[in-house]
Amino acid sequence: MTRLPLFAIRYSLSFMPLCLLLGGCFLGKRPEARLTSEPSIERAFDVLGAAPAGEALVNFLNENPVRFEYGNTPGLCNKFFLKKRKIFLPRELRDSDKLLAMAVARAAYIYRLTATSGLDEIISEEEELGALFQARIGLEIGLLDEDF
């Protein structure tokens, strides 16, 4: 049996409170969910999170992450792949942070409704509620005619 010298025991014991303190700081911390890899969509999340109604939605997305990316198909509609937890946004909105934030708000609200309802498919009522939420976010972020 190998015996440790006395100075090694004292040296290791002196760092134990520091390790416990630092370990306690990191307990319970979850890594933040990465919702996208696109900088323009991240800016849209910043705009959305600054709105009072959008902040709760962004918090929900961080707790129940879904991936937001740009779609390859033309058009201004969102594409939902709920089983893969992916939402594709229209590429045409890439240049306007406010319009993209509204598209993200609508898609995220529909995702939230679908995730909490437990339905496998998106129903028309969820689409309608998403459109109303999109209009509310537009008012809260101060969308103007010049933004279109």
Percent of the chain at pLDDT above 70? 74
Place of tokens 């594409």: 79
* pLDDT, tens digit, 9 for 90 and up, residues 79-98: 777 778 888 888 888 888 88
Which one is predicted more confidently, 87 or 148?
Answer: 87
DSSP-derived pairing of the beta strands 79-81 and 67-70 = unpaired
Q: Please tell me the predicted confidence (pLDDT) of residue 16.
A: 56
pLDDT at 39: 85
User: Can you read off the two tokens belonging to residue 45?
Assistant: 């999340």
pTM above 0.75, yes or no: no
- How much is the pLDDT for 105? 93
Average pLDDT on 56-70 reads: 90
Residue whose entry in the numeric block shows the structure tokens 């969509």: 41
Q: Is the pLDDT of residue 52 over 70?
A: yes
Coil/strand/helix, residue 67 = strand
Of 26-40, 66-80, 114-128, which has the strongest mean pLDDT?
A: 114-128
What was the pLDDT predicted at 9? 52
SS3 80: strand
Instruction: Find the range with the poorest average confidence among 54-68, 75-89, 99-113.
Output: 75-89
